[in-house]
Amino acid sequence: MPHALSFFHIFFKKNFLKKNINKTNTIVKKNIWQTSFKVSEKIINLVFKENYKEKTSVKLRLNDLVLVRKTKKNRGKFINYIQNFQTNKIKNINNPMEDFYKDLFKNMNNKKYYKTNKYLTLNIMKINNFFLN
């Protein structure tokens, strides 16, 4: 869930964490966690599925738009991409762990970076707690 919240933080132009979130529905079953919520008149449905025989996927429905985040491995490197269900278009996205380490090493002596990152992490954990409880 925290990874999905980080994704939304970037997807919604970094203001997602400042908006009111109204959770409407949550379903928890073995290997499936699903929730629906509303942010700024946008209805979002999230489905997390895990199958040990297949790769984990994240499905996002935003009003009528349906996106799936998938990962494939190419020459030992993980490639994340988002697939649009309606148009079948695929867009590669950066590996979040790779970006994290690049930013970390680039900002080793930057106090503002650490303060901003701390604020972001705390807010993501608060929202994560809201969804899980």
Q: Count how many domains the chain has.
A: 1
What domain range includes position 46?
Answer: 2-132
For residue 3, what are the contacts with CB-CB under 8 A and spacing of at least 6? 58, 96
Residue-wise pLDDT for 32-76, tens only, equals 888 888 887 778 888 877 776 666 667 777 778 888 888 878 888
The rounded distance, in Å, linking the Cα atoms of 32 and 49 is 5
What type of residue sits at position 59? K
Name which of 6, 48, 45 is nearest 30 in CA terms: 48
Q: Is the pLDDT higher at 60 or at 9?
A: 60
What is the pTM (predicted TM-score) of this model? Answer: 0.62
The rounded distance, in Å, linking the Cα atoms of 13 and 47 is 22
